[in-house]
Structure 1
Amino acid sequence: MKLLLVEDDVPYAQTLMRRLEKHGLTVQHVTTIDEMLTAVDSCSFDYFLLDMKLDKANSVNFIATIKQHHPCSKVVLLTGYASIATAVEAIKLGADDYLTKPASTSLILQTLLGEKTDNLEAEIMSPERLEWEHIQQVLKANDGNISQTARQLNMHRRTLQRKLQKKPAYK
């Protein structure tokens, strides 16, 4: 079972690689889109674990390319900037699943290997998280236009920019 890990946070990737290798996966790690595309062309992988934001690039844009080269492989997007809008977009482009950071090694393995268990507790979103999700949906509907989104949300543009710079609350 061979996995391509696309993650620009090297210490996190090294820790995750060690943990996944203990469970029998052979992991190749790359940090950029160019390295990922080279690996996709040259090697065969069973699984792809993609960090969504890589420097200034977005790996969501390359899911279709991965699926074209490896149609039977499982693609999982892993991100610290999760939103319903990006999750829907990733799934539409061919991702098999979508996880938010921090994700436990067991959850990542369960997702990759398709061994979902019933002991995973459903998370209830906080009001702050719901607000962030709503902002992301409106922003996506406005094609990333901050001013238009602020007007629709009846919010000052700078206030919206500050909210967008914060990581979402998970609980």
Structure 2
Amino acid sequence: MTDINDLPEAERTLLLVDDDKPFLTRLERAMDKRGFIVTSADSVAGGLAALGAAPPAFAVIDLRLEDGNGLEVVSALHEKRPDARVVVLTGYGNIATAVTAVKLGAVDYLAKPADADDIVKALLASEEIKPEPPENPMSADRVRWEHIQRVYELCDRNVSETARRLNMHRRTLQRILAKRAPR
């Protein structure tokens, strides 16, 4: 793994595309502190516009955006700059979209919420060497809890609608929501 600060400024450019504004802001700050020159967008249209005349060397793109699919941005970036290293983030991971993302040029596919250190490792990992597994990965209970919270927020905090979409009894969901997040 190379150090980002060893690269020339033009090779430290990073595009972040995510419609979750608080997450985008936190990730933007974290990546800036790590030495990247960050541009961010909160939609497919914004991401495509940000590619502009000087496509970035790195990108972190959410799969599902309000105005479309983040894979459109991955594809457009790979056409303009085939050597760009892209990591796709998603709260809805499945094998088919992971395969599609890699075919379109992504170097990794991470589940949300992803840690900034894990994202940097994925972006900077050499092609021959796989990045090490995370030191403190989220537990399965935590991943489940995060997924439930995300669906709950997407359903505008409507317990009945969330329970229906998760194929879960409403009272069970209420008990889960009343508890603290697992470690």
TM-score, structure 1 normalization: 0.68
| Equivalent residue for 1:35, pick from 22, 46, 54 | 46
**Hey, what does 2:37 align to over in structure 1?**
26
Summarize the alignment of residues 17-166 of structure 1 with structure 2, pairs less than 5 Å apart. Answer: 17-114=28-125, 117-118=131-132, 120=134, 162-163=165-166
Classify 1:51/1:163 alpha carbon distance in 2 versus 1 (closer, same or farther; 3 Å): same
SS at match of 1:28: strand
TM-score, structure 2 normalization: 0.64
Classify 1:27/1:164 alpha carbon distance in 2 versus 1 (closer, same or farther; 3 Å): farther
**Hey, what does 1:9 align to over in structure 2?**
20
What letter matches 2:75 in structure 1?
Answer: A
Q: Matched residues, percent identical?
A: 36
Deviations 1:58-115 (A, max 9, x none): 1113322210101111011011111112111111222111111111111011011117
What letter matches 1:4 in structure 2?
Answer: L
What letter matches 1:118 in structure 2?
Answer: E
More displaced stretch, 33-42 vs 50-59 = 33-42
**Hey, what does 1:168 align to over in structure 2?**
none
Q: How many residues align?
A: 135
Stretches of structure 2 lacking an aligned partner (at least 5 in a row): 1-11, 145-163, 169-183
Contact 1:41–1:69 (Cα < 8 Å) also in 2: no
More displaced stretch, 86-95 vs 113-122 = 113-122
Contact 2:125–2:131 (Cα < 8 Å) also in 1: no
Aligned CA RMSD, in angstroms, stands at 2.9
**Hey, what does 1:147 align to over in structure 2?**
none
What letter matches 1:29 in structure 2?
Answer: S
State the alpha-carbon separation in 1 of the partners of residues 69 and 52 from structure 2: 19
Segments ≥4 residues shifted beyond 4 Å: 121-126
**Hey, what does 1:135 align to over in structure 2?**
none
> Per-residue deviation at 1:124?
8.9
Classify 1:53/1:164 alpha carbon distance in 2 versus 1 (closer, same or farther; 3 Å): farther
